[in-house]
Amino acid sequence: MSQKIKKIALLTGGGDCPGLNAVIRGVTRTAILEYGYEVIGYKFGYRGLYNNDFIPLTLDTVSGILHRGGTILYSSNKDNLFDYTVEENGKMVKKDVSDVAVENLKKENVDALVVIGGDGTLTSARDFARKGVNVIGVPKTIDNDLACTDVTFGFNTAIDVATEALDRLHTTAESHHRIMILEVMGRNAGWIALESGIAGSADVILIPEIPYDINKIVGKIKDRQKQGKVFSIIVVAEGAKPLGGDVVVNKVVEDSPDPIRLGGIANKLASDLEKLVKDNEIRSTVLGHLQRGGNTSTYDRILSTRYGVAAAELIDAGKFGNMVTLNGNKISYASLEDVIGKIKNIEPDSELVEVARKIGISLGD
């Protein structure tokens, strides 16, 4: 298969994520050094593919980027070329412009496209594969919620950041006898909250998969008070919700493929608790985009490099329409058809949830 491939392209889509540059580097170096491919990178995700806006990726281009957060190719989370906003007769309308992208790939003699992204970005990757484009996907999201892979790159860095935040909140909580609430990302999956909560010795962890009872949280706080522990740490996933209630929506971005922006649960929880807990001041912190930024963790640098090398290997083997995966400690691959539309949630009776319970952490239920 390698004799037929001469030129490949990369793009990064969706929210930025630690490890993107490491994947770009891994794909590029393997493609050039191992297979002799020419490599280009489209800028701003699928928008660059539509506008035919790209840069050459060489050994010099990817030098020194392994540790850096963000992406040298830039990114966009609003450009679905199968439902793209264009101007027509003076009006902005939604159109399927994917054929333009396909023609641009042909014009540049691109033989294979590596798409690095999460569910939304990889959904378009699957759709391009259906149109005959030779596509390889790489699983990117700090939320760790993509199906068919044990770990997505970026997740480890995010939980490191969240754990450090919990460590810092501990000292303030203890000094002032406060209840400190940390809100973390994750959308509708609680992986960041659960793992950082265990690592950061939280007293309460609230995740989307287990709706919480506010009275159970109050009970945990009062139990700690009886033990002489006059502060508490709560970590809450942005998609957590009370029993019989719903998620807190921060805003709706109409022109985005994923318009619902979660956020604000920590403030709501603080307000609710203030009515029920009189002995402690309550403070909330929203970690937000700090989880996405900064240097990439050692684990994610290695995982991203493994994913990048595997993507180049799949191209050489002609195994298109697949996403690279990590299962156990083995790099493998799964069909994009099997990945898309399936969220990898935490099972409420999973081993990690039981670990949290057995060391005395409340899940709010």
At 124, which amino acid appears? S
Domain coordinates of the chain in residue numbers? 7-153+296-339, 156-293
> What count of Cα atoms within 13 Å lies in the side-chain half-sphere of residue 337?
5
C-alpha distances (whole Å) from 202 to each of 210, 238, 351, 354, 358 are 16, 16, 18, 15, 13
> Model confidence over 2-15: pLDDT tens digits?
458 999 999 999 98
- Exposed, middle or buried, 177 (CB in 10 Å: 0-12/13-18/19+)? middle
Q: Let me know if 246 is a catalytic residue.
A: no
> Model confidence over 229-272: pLDDT tens digits?
989 999 999 999 999 888 888 767 666 666 677 878 999 999 99
Strand, helix or coil at 180?
A: strand
Cβ neighbours around 329 below 10 Å, total: 7
Handedness of CA 192, 198, 204, 210 (dihedral sign): positive
CATH 3.40.50.460 fits 156-293, yes or no: yes
pLDDT at 29: 98
C-alpha distances (whole Å) from 276 to each of 57, 166, 207, 216, 348 are 58, 23, 21, 11, 27
Two domains, one topology: 7-153+296-339 and 156-293: yes
Per-chain mean pLDDT for the chain: 93
pLDDT at 263: 79
Residue 12 CA to residue 138 CA, distance in Å, equals: 9
Query: Which residue is listed with tokens 């799949």?
Result: 314
Point out the catalytic residue in the list 143, 160, 300, 316: 143
Q: Which fold has domain 7-153+296-339?
A: Rossmann fold (3.40.50)
Residue 351 CA to residue 220 CA, distance in Å, equals: 22
- What tokens appear for 68 in the block? 């850096």
Read off the pLDDT of each residue in 69-84 and give the average, rounded to a whole number. Answer: 92
Is a pLDDT exceeding 60 seen at residue 24? yes
